């Protein structure tokens, strides 16, 4: 699947696979997790779809931009596609660097860029299995 | 010239189609795609106003010139993360 930033596999396994080297003094990790309720309505899951070739390309560019702006050792970005159950990780961004400032800044830059520009969409499925309607679908549903 | 319009998310749901082949005169721009779509589906007008367009996996400005066989993707507001 392109550069492999998008996956249908659970991301929980990635949490166990962290490694650091001697240069790392900081690691910042952001996890986006599916909430149990949206707008007061109980959820069963979110379903993510993407325009995959463009999404992979734009995430690759965000990663390259982050490396240009800050001195970073390692970057991991993974985003789920398909059904993601309540409580599961939908997106993971991990940055390792010598010091905390660049790790925090780059992690924030990456997740903000993903949410703003990368063609990924989510739809919400209620406990009855019926899709929940959202105004324009771009509400945080 | 003929281009392929590709739809995702709520635009695709509302149209009931993932793609459409559409013929435009020479000199047409990507904004003509939105005008064409809005004309055919007035109920989508509000959504199309807040959608972006991409050609060859890159966002393009409304005055971007269409070329024959382009794949023009309508990108409604994204909601990843």
Cβ–Cβ gap A49/B78 under 8 Å: no
pLDDT at A135 over 80: no
Question: What ipTM describes this predicted complex?
Answer: 0.93
Interchain CB distance below 8 Å, B54 and A116: no
Is A115's CB within 8 Å of B80's CB? yes
Cα angle B53, B57, B59 (rounded to 5 degrees) comes to 35
pLDDT band at A3 (very low <50, low <70, confident <90, very high): low
Asked whether residue A82 carries a pLDDT value surpassing 70, the answer given is yes
3-state SS string for A23-74: CCCEEEEEEEECCCEECCEEEEEEEEEECHHHHHHHHHHHHHHHHHHCCCCE
Interface test with A, best of B43, B72, B80 (most A CBs within 10 A): B80
Q: What percent of chain A has pLDDT over 90?
A: 76
B36 CB near a chain A CB, below 8 Å?
no
Cβ-defined contact of B80 to A121 (cutoff 8 Å): yes
Residue in A48, A49, A54 closest to B54 by CB = A54
- Identify the CA nearest to A30 among candidates A90, A117, A97: A90
Average pLDDT rounded to a whole number, residues A78-105: 97
Structure token pair of residue A68: 């240009």
Q: Cβ of B46 under 8 Å from any chain A Cβ? A: yes
What pLDDT does residue A140 have? 43
Give the closest of B9, B47, B80 to A79, CB-based. B80
Give pLDDT tens digits for B26-70: 999 999 999 999 999 999 999 999 999 999 999 999 999 999 999
A115/B81 CB distance under 8 A: yes
- Between residues A137 and A92, which one has the greater pLDDT? A92
Is residue A113 over pLDDT 90? yes
In chain B, residues with a C-beta closer than 8 Å to the C-beta of A48 are 80
């Amino acid at each position: 699947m392109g550069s492999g930033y998008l996956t249908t596999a659970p991301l929980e396994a990635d949490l166990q696979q962290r490694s650091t080297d001697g240069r790392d003094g900081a690691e910042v990790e952001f996890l986006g997790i599916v909430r149990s309720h949206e707008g007061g309505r109980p959820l069963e899951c979110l379903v993510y779809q993407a325009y995959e070739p463009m999404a992979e390309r734009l995430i690759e560019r965000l990663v390259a931009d982050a490396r240009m702006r800050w001195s970073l050792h390692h970057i991991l970005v993974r985003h789920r596609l398909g059904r993601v159950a309540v409580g599961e990780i939908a997106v993971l961004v991990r940055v390792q660097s010598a010091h905390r400032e660049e790790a925090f800044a780059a992690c924030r830059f990456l997740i903000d860029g993903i949410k703003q520009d990368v063609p990924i969409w989510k739809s919400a499925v209620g406990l009855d299995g019926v899709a929940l309607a959202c105004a324009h679908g771009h509400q945080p549903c | 010239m003929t281009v392929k319009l590709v739809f995702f998310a709520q635009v695709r749901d509302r149209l009931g189609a993932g793609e459409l082949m559409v013929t435009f005169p020479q000199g047409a721009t990507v904004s003509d795609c939105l005008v064409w779509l809005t004309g055919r589906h007035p109920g989508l007008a509000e959504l199309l106003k807040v959608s972006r367009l991409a050609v060859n996996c890159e966002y393009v400005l409304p005055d971007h010139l269409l070329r024959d066989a382009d794949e023009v993707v309508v990108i409604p507001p994204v909601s990843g993360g």
